[in-house]
Amino acid sequence: MKRIIPVFLLLVFWSGLQPARAELTIEITSGTEGALPIAVVPFAWNGPGTPPEDVAEIVAADLARSGQFAPLPRADMLSRPARPEDIRYRDWRAVGVDNLVIGRIVPREGGGYTVEFRLFDVFRGRQLTGYSFPTSGERLRETAHRVADIVYETLTGERGAFRTWIAYVTVTGSGDERRYSLQVADSDGYNPRTVLRSRQPLMSPSWSPDARRLAYVSFEQETAEVYVQELATGQRRKVASYQGINGAPSWSPDGRQLALTLSQDGNAEIYILSLDSGRLRRLTRHPAIDTEPAWAPDGRSLVFTSDRGGSPQLYRLAVDGGRPERLTFEGGYNASADFAPDGERLALLHRDGRGNYRVAVQDLERGMLTLVSEGRLDESPSFAPNGRMILYATEAGGRGVLAAASVDGRVGQRLRLQEGEVREPAWSPFLE
Partner 1 sequence: MNIRNGLVGILALALALLGGCGTMDKRADGDAAVEDRGAAAGAQAGIDGAEARGLGADGDLRGLALDDPSSPLATRTIYFEFDSSEVAAADREVVAAHARYLAANPQQQVVLEGHADERGSREYNIGLGDRRAQSVRRMLEFQGVAPDQIRTVSYGEEKPAVEGHDEQAWSRNRRVEIVYMDQ
Binding residues for partner 1, rule: CB under 8 A, are 174, 178, 201, 203-204, 219, 222-224, 243-245, 247-248, 261, 263, 266-268, 289, 291-292, 305, 307, 311-312, 333, 335-336, 349, 351, 357, 376-377, 379-380, 395, 398, 423-424
Q: Cβ 205 to partner 1, closest distance in Å?
A: 11
Could you tell me which residues come within 8 angstroms of residue 108 by beta carbon, excluding any fewer than 6 positions away? 114, 134
CA count, 13 A, side-chain hemisphere, 270: 28
Q: Cβ 412 to partner 1, closest distance in Å?
A: 20
Q: Cβ 5 to partner 1, closest distance in Å?
A: 27
Nearer to partner 1, 334 or 406 (CB): 334
Nearer to partner 1, 244 or 255 (CB): 244
Nearer to partner 1, 221 or 235 (CB): 221
Distance CA 230, CA 239 (A): 13
Q: Cβ 217 to partner 1, closest distance in Å?
A: 8
Q: Cβ 303 to partner 1, closest distance in Å?
A: 13
Distance CA 265, CA 214 (A): 26
Q: Cβ 426 to partner 1, closest distance in Å?
A: 12
CA angle 367, 425, 387 (to 5 degrees): 45
Shortest CA distance to 162 belongs to which of 134, 193, 185? 185
Q: Cβ 252 to partner 1, closest distance in Å?
A: 18
**136 — phi, psi (to 5°)?**
-105, 170
Kind of pairing, strands 36-40 and 99-107?
parallel
Count of C-beta atoms within a 10 Å radius of residue 418: 10
Q: Cβ 256 to partner 1, closest distance in Å?
A: 22
Nearer to partner 1, 145 or 358 (CB): 358
Distance CA 90, CA 137 (A): 35
Q: Cβ 150 to partner 1, closest distance in Å?
A: 36
Nearer to partner 1, 68 or 380 (CB): 380
Nearer to partner 1, 354 or 366 (CB): 354
Q: Cβ 291 to partner 1, closest distance in Å?
A: 5
Distance CA 245, CA 223 (A): 8
Mutual angle of helices 55-65 and 140-156, in 10-degree steps: 50
For residue 315, the SS3 value is strand
Contact assessment for residue 293 and residue 282, using Cβ atoms and an 8 Å cutoff: no
DSSP string, 70-123: EEPPGGG-S---SSGGG--HHHHHHTT-SEEEEEEEEEPTTS-EEEEEEEEETT
Nearer to partner 1, 12 or 369 (CB): 369
For residue 208, the SS3 value is coil
Nearer to partner 1, 174 or 277 (CB): 174
Nearer to partner 1, 212 or 351 (CB): 351
**147 — phi, psi (to 5°)?**
-60, -45
For residue 165, the SS3 value is strand
**187 — phi, psi (to 5°)?**
-65, -20
Q: Cβ 169 to partner 1, closest distance in Å?
A: 10
Could you tell me which residues come within 8 angstroms of residue 184 by beta carbon, excluding any fewer than 6 positions away? 165, 166, 167, 192, 193, 195, 214, 231, 428
Shortest CA distance to 243 belongs to which of 261, 226, 264? 264
Nearer to partner 1, 87 or 215 (CB): 215
| Cα four-point dihedral sign 152, 157, 162, 168 | negative
Nearer to partner 1, 261 or 428 (CB): 261
Kind of pairing, strands 421-427 and 165-172?
antiparallel
